[in-house]
Amino acid sequence: MGGSGGVSSEGGFATTGTGVKALKQEILELPDGEQQQIAQELLPLLLTTRGGVRSIDRVLQAHSDQELDAMVERARDRTQDLPEATVDAVIGEALRAVRALSRS
């Protein structure tokens, strides 16, 4: 997965917008199975970063319970290839991270 546009000289992915775009493009070009594996392994990690938690917190504060329920159902519909347990785990981890942030 390390295309020349998104890899720094240290071997990690560049943090510039160009590096992120290149990484995104590489992921989109992967076979579906590999995309699912990336989603299962990295989505929980990305959602619990400081930026991910802040984004989730903003969404939780800006929407009613009914709107949030509809968002969760749309996410589940879009991820029909992922096991239900994975979807539940990702959503649960994101909510736990937001709760922990709001307590601190």
Give the sign of the dihedral formed by CA 48, CA 53, CA 59, CA 62: positive
Residue/partner pairs of 43-46 with CB below 8 Å, 24 or more apart: 43/90, 44/89, 44/90, 44/93, 44/94
How far is residue 34's CA from residue 56's CA, in Å, rounded to a whole number?
26
Both 92 and 51 in one domain: the answer is: yes
Kindly state the average pLDDT of the residues 16-22.
80
Kindly state the average pLDDT of the residues 74-85.
74
Residue 14 scores a pLDDT above 50: no
- Number of residues that this document lists for the chain: 104
Structure confidence by residue, pLDDT tens digits, 30-75: 998 898 888 878 877 887 788 888 888 888 889 888 988 888 788 7
Residue 26 is predicted with a pLDDT of: 92
Domain count, the chain: 2
Both 41 and 73 in one domain: the answer is: yes
- Domain span at residue 71? 32-103
Q: Quote the pTM value.
A: 0.47
Both 45 and 19 in one domain: the answer is: no
